[in-house]
Chains A and B, each alone.
Chain A
Amino acid sequence: MDAAIAIIQKILYAAVELGPTVFKAEEELAPFAAAIVQVFKGETLSDDQLAGLQAISDALHGQIQAADDNAAPTSGDGS
């Protein structure tokens, strides 16, 4: 799972770089934190818990696909 760890490390970097301006991971990824606690206890996630994580992924996918990729640029000086 080295690839997964590498991805998360880069996400951490982005979290620090973009920080409070655009990043709100502490809210949307909170259910993952709860799942981690259970994993640390040596327990297996239940089907309901896994479904909860899947629902977050589904919601994020919906947000991404709903983004307007043909929006007109904002007016201004371009700075």
Chain B
Amino acid sequence: MEMDKLGVVTAFIHNIVVYNIPLLYGTVGEIMVEKSGSLNLGVEGIMAVGAIFGYIVGCYANSLAVGILTAFLMGALCGLLFAALTVSLQANQNITGLTLTTFGLGVYFFVGNGLKAVKWPAMNDYSHIKQGFANIAIPGLSKLPVVGEGLFHHNLLVYLGVVIAVAMWWYLNRTTPGLRLRAVGENPGAADSVGVNVKRCKYIHICIGCGIMGLGGYYMGLNMSGSFSSSCWINGYGWIAVALVIFANWNPAMAILGTFVFGFFNTLRVSGGGLAAAFPGALGWLAGIPSQLYQALPFIITALVLVGSSMKKTSNSGAPAALGANYFREER
């Protein structure tokens, strides 16, 4: 009986990771974009585009690697569009981002519904995709009690997400190109005057960031076993990622923690009932909380963080100073 309860906890931890790693992809990608000084509100749409093309192409090629590559490239292509409009053509970032979301979701449903009318590729028919997405235990660590199975027995894309987040932290804080990128986001004029190619820097990082978002979308598609319905695979995760960037204070390492916090609430919504049943004494009250509160919590928390950080006027905020403003060289 006691072991069973621990099993519930392990499954809970496992679910936090499995269902919320896409948030990490979206967030880390958006951090990279925002660090270049661009506020991209198109995360939801970019993830959707990456998801649908990654899934379909990956299935037809019957290769997870091809799927990953396609999702990344399609995301990066969306990024290229965003960069061309906002960096080169000086278009408003909010409008461009929002349009990218509308457009991306339009493409998602157009392609998805169109293919569904002919023949939808079912994930089960593609052995390599299924095997590639199967869980891999990390030797040693996965044998730890309770948390081992929950944290260290996951599919490839979970590990990849964490690796990308850590690598991004290192890149931003410990390398010269990362330093240049941060300079561009803080003060593009100053960066330009010391010889940083601002345009190129923005283009590259917007594209890479959006590519990472596309990967997150692909993960979500696989996680749903590729079943296509009237609700989008991304289902608002892109917007939560935008919120999570703020919560993580523009720090990719903090984003891992933030993903756990937001994921915790998200998982309580889905399997809080299981916890309440396993621990009726201590956690029985969980069953009474409306699921919509859990859905709203990431946004409530982020709103509070936004207000709190603006009240304190802290100097250690990770928000790039030039966020949302286009850089026009002639006006330097």
**Do A and B form a real pair?**
no
Using a CB–CB cutoff of 8 Å, the interface residues on chain A facing chain B are none
